[in-house]
Amino acid sequence: MTPTTGRDGATGPSVVVLISGRGSNLRAIVESQPPCRIAAVISNRPDAAGLAYARGHGIATEVVDHGAFAAADDPRAAFDAALRQAIDRHQPALVVLAGFMRILTAPFVDHYAGRMINIHPSLLPAYPGLHTHRRALAEGVRLHGCTVHFVTSTLDNGPIIVQAAVPVHAGDTEDTLSARVLVQEHRLYPQAVRWFVQGRLSIEGSRVRLAPPAGSPVPAQDGTLVVPPLD
Ligand code: GAR
């Protein structure tokens, strides 16, 4: 990872963030002041609200509009090639998918193997794809949550870095449940980015190993979570 200095004075490896919409995870990452330089925020949608937030914080933005590739022989491959060019201009150590709602081709994903991460609003491998909160409610699960994982060419799949579980309450709606999960997303994603740029994550087969911070032993913890609490 080549340390660089950004316009805002942030140093560390370059990170490119991809968004399609609101950008609240982008915001959580920026506000956490990770030890890296957010080199650019790229969106496939010109109207993504997160772009305005990035511009307001002096971060370079770019739009690679997927709609512009509709007439290509292979629109998906053409879009991914253009997106790859836009990303690679920044030579990022890490590509962060933060609500980037596109299915990516295998060659694109392979190019960023081990250096592209995603956040998904479910406890993967449950509920890959869309409408995760609605599906969790329909199936009556007691625990729901979110996952940060390395990206592989299978949708919403790949070695898991960190997960957070939240209880599902009796009166929950899609809105209340998604809001509860989102609070955890905003805790998890900045942490995962920080671990990555600190060089503490390694992929071992299908699992991710988190190295302890330099000079300290792994803290013992029993993270058992049972919902509802047992009598
Ligand atoms: C987040 O809930 C994220 O987990 C989800 O989109 C939302 C984006 O919100 N991502 C996916 O569903 C990816 N499969 P944001 O734009 O406010 O960060």
Q: What residue spans in the chain does CATH classification 3.40.50.170 cover?
A: 1-112, 119-231
CB of residue 97 inside a 6 A radius of ligand 1: no
- Would residue 66 show up in a list of annotated catalytic residues for this protein? no
Superfamily of domain 119-231: Formyl transferase, N-terminal domain (3.40.50.170)
CB 86 within 8 A of CB 64: yes
- The pTM of this model reads 0.94
Superfamily of domain 1-112: Formyl transferase, N-terminal domain (3.40.50.170)
pLDDT number for residue 229: 80
Q: Could you tell which of 41, 120, 163 is best to mutate to test the pocket of ligand 1, judged by most ligand atoms within 8 Å of the CB?
A: 120
The answer on pLDDT for 4 being more than 50 is no
pLDDT number for residue 48: 98
Overall average pLDDT of the 36-57 stretch? 98
* Confidence class for position 219, pLDDT limits 50, 70, 90: low
* Confidence class for position 228, pLDDT limits 50, 70, 90: confident
Q: What is the mean pLDDT of the chain?
A: 93
**CA separation for the pair 78, 171 (Å, rounded):** 45
Is 57 exposed, middle or buried, given 0-12, 13-18 or 19+ CB atoms closer than 10 A? middle
| Total Cβ atoms within 10 A of residue 59 | 21
pLDDT number for residue 1: 41
The answer on pLDDT for 6 being more than 80 is no
